[in-house]
Amino acid sequence: MNIGSHKAQWLLAALLIQVALAVPMSASAPVESLKLSELPERFETRIPALLEEQLADVERAAAALPGMDRKRAYLITLPLQNYIEDVVLSANRPAALHPRAMAWVIGTEAARGTREREISRLLVTYYQKDLFKTFDVNRSNVAATEASKGGDR
Amino acid sequence: MIRCLVILSAVFAIAGAPAAAIAGTQDEGSPSPSIWGGEVRLHAGSLNGAEGLGRTGGLFETRVSLETALAAGLSVYGEIGSGFEQGPDESGLHQLYLNYQFTEQRDVTVRAGWIPLPFGRWNAMTLSRPLIKDQEFRVGSSQEFILRRASAGLSFHAGSGHLETDLAVLDQSRAEEFRIEREGGADAVGRFGFRSGGFSAGVSLLQGLRGGDAPSGTPGAQLGGVRARGIDLQWSRGLLSLGGEALVLDIDEHRNAGYYVQGALDISRLVRGLRLIVRHDFLDETAGELGGRFRRETIGLRQALRRDLDVELEFNRDHGDRNLPAFGGSHFVFGLRYRF
């Protein structure tokens, strides 16, 4: 079969999707929890794979906060990732994240009962307005919420 | 091939030094971040190949990037790839530069090496590149000009409040050629931008400073014969992003013009990770071999199957004065992108 033919290309594409889905994710799903304090306050990158890795860490940390769990946190940052790749990185600008503040916002909004879709949209809006750097993530409160989450289990 | 290996070895040798530098900049308890990442893309369907306008990146393309701190304020970024990088980037080096930020408080940086061309935007949201940025224009009898992604040179960036400025002088050889032509030309490039919230706007200027066989007989030829002016706009609100770019490129008295407008809407409300993308693209070319007007409408869907795996399906409808090997009619293009 000629590799240049359209039929061969579509077959190859279907095969590769199967293979890719079988490969474990590098930017993994929130399997192991991560403490909020383990996230960096600021992270800057131009590399999409590193951006994804950091956003996966944000979800892992957020999943351990009250009102949130692994299933709800999974891919909650995906719209933000798409926005950054399409608009920020494509303009040759680095993506500047505030992972600790992002996870804190997810946890805070979840505790208020905000739905995941709305939290995803808020993350994009806050990034566009550069608001994450203005959030004062109080470490003692974070520790308290993490402790209370642990106590709830 | 040997050149690629040499470049790759050099990049990773440079990257071996920074462990101590990174350790000093990390928060206590934070896991050490990775310093490299890559991606593999597959494109199936039409718009592949070296001929035509607004190509995709060929059947397969790969890219490996590395970014790390070397010392306080000093970092290195490198990128090599195979295949085309959404257009005319060929196999080999895509970018490799040192970046120095004077202070953390002020947004003032200097770059040296094979640096990005600070003219408008680079990537489009679609699988195919904008027509005006994919076309290679002929200049004089033997030279060519393209709004390439990166070249060897020096650039300066400063940002203050909502304003930003980029100035650069770059060789006209592409980064993949990994050479600096003494007899060739250089480009002086500048972009002046405004950014506030989800809005950004910029004006870009390029003046060619050509070498020995500059086109003659025009005022522009004395300075280099190539002059480009462009504007770029981007507006985003929540899950909707709209943007575009328009530019005029004068080459040896011949004017080429083009623009594109594009939009993306995250429709995760319907299906998680689903994105709708549209683009309208126009090129009026008089300086090249093609000579004519070309228009393309694109509509596409991108679905994130996982965080690191996207599939994209795009439909393109081409209109032009002439039918070319990869331009004209309708095309479906399928894309698969995996990051690691």
**B79 in Cβ contact with B96 (< 8 Å):** yes
Residues A87, A131: Cα–Cα separation, whole Å? 17
Which DSSP string do the residues of B62-85 spell out, in sequence order? Answer: EEEEEEEEEETTEEEEEEEEES-S
- At residue A82, the pLDDT reads 92
Residue A16, pLDDT above cutoff 70: no
**B113 in Cβ contact with B120 (< 8 Å):** no
Alpha helix (H) ranges present in B102-253? 131-134, 219-223
- At residue B9, the pLDDT reads 52
Q: Do B45 and A86 touch (CB under 8 A)?
A: no
Which of the 8 DSSP states describes residue A121? Answer: H
The owner of tokens 């680079």 is B122
Residues B1, B3: Cα–Cα separation, whole Å? 5
Q: Do A13 and B125 touch (CB under 8 A)?
A: no
Residues B213, B239: Cα–Cα separation, whole Å? 49
- Tens of pLDDT along A48-81? 999 999 999 999 999 998 888 888 999 999 999 9
CA nearest neighbour of B332 among B319, B311, B310, B317: B317
- At residue B262, the pLDDT reads 94
Helices A99-111 and A116-128, interaxial angle, to 10°? 140
Q: Is residue B31 situated within a structural domain?
A: no
Contacts (Cβ under 8 Å, ≥6 apart) of B123:
A89, A90, B86, B129
- At residue A152, the pLDDT reads 40
Selecting from A9, A20, A40 the residue whose C-beta is nearest the C-beta of B45 gives: A9
Q: Do B65 and A81 touch (CB under 8 A)?
A: no
- pTM of the full structure: 0.82
Q: Is residue B30 situated within a structural domain?
A: no
- Token pair for residue B317? 């409808």
Selecting from A6, A40, A49 the residue whose C-beta is nearest the C-beta of B39 gives: A49
Q: How many domains does chain B have?
A: 1
- At residue B236, the pLDDT reads 93
Q: Is residue B268 situated within a structural domain?
A: yes
Helix (H) / strand (E) containing B294: strand B292-306
Q: Tell whether B237 is within 8 A of chain A (Cβ).
A: yes
**Chain B: closest CA distance from residue A141 (Å):** 18
- We report the CATH number of the domain holding residue B256 as 2.40.160.10
Q: Is residue B27 situated within a structural domain?
A: no
Q: Is residue B85 situated within a structural domain?
A: yes
Selecting from B77, B241, B334 the residue whose C-beta is nearest the C-beta of A87 gives: B241
Helices A48-63 and A99-111, interaxial angle, to 10°? 40
- At residue B331, the pLDDT reads 84
Other CB atoms within a 10 A radius of the CB of residue A37 amount to 16
Q: Do A49 and B339 touch (CB under 8 A)?
A: yes
Reading chain B (340 residues) residue by residue, the pLDDT tens digits are 445 445 545 545 544 444 334 433 444 445 555 688 988 888 777 665 545 466 666 677 888 999 988 888 899 999 988 765 444 456 678 889 999 998 877 889 999 999 999 998 877 788 877 888 877 777 666 667 778 888 899 999 999 989 999 999 998 877 766 666 666 678 999 999 999 988 999 999 999 886 544 444 444 444 457 899 999 999 999 999 999 999 999 887 788 899 999 999 999 888 888 999 999 999 988 766 667 888 999 999 999 998 999 999 999 898 887 767 667 788 888 889 998 8
Q: Is residue B28 situated within a structural domain?
A: no
Which DSSP string do the residues of A14-64 spell out, in sequence order? Answer: HHHHHHHHHSPPSS--S-S---GGGS-S-EEES-HHHHHHHHHHHHHHHHT
Nearest CA in chain B to A11: B44
- Tens of pLDDT along B102-149? 887 788 999 999 999 999 887 778 887 788 887 777 766 666 777 888
The backbone torsions φ and ψ at residue A83, rounded to the nearest 5 degrees and listed phi first, read -60, -45
Higher pLDDT, A84 or B329: A84
Residue A13, pLDDT above cutoff 80: no
Q: Is residue B128 situated within a structural domain?
A: yes
Selecting from B26, B45, B77 the residue whose C-beta is nearest the C-beta of A46 gives: B77
Per the structure, the complete domain to which residue B114 belongs is given by: 2-22+36-339
- At residue B149, the pLDDT reads 83
Q: Do A21 and B338 touch (CB under 8 A)?
A: no
Cα atoms in the 13 Å half-sphere on the side-chain side of B21? 16
- From chain B residues 62-121, the ones with a CB under 8 A of any chain A CB are 65-67, 77, 116, 118, 121
Contacts (Cβ under 8 Å, ≥6 apart) of B49:
B55, B58, B325, B326
**B215 in Cβ contact with B251 (< 8 Å):** yes
Q: Is residue B29 situated within a structural domain?
A: no
Residue A12, pLDDT above cutoff 90: no
- What torsion do the CA atoms of B4, B6, B7, B8 make, to the nearest 10 degrees? 80
Residues B47, B114: Cα–Cα separation, whole Å? 28
Confidence of residue A149 (pLDDT cuts 50, 70, 90): very low
Report the complex ipTM: 0.82
Cα atoms in the 13 Å half-sphere on the side-chain side of B51? 8
**Chain B: closest CA distance from residue A151 (Å):** 23
Residues B41, B165: Cα–Cα separation, whole Å? 33
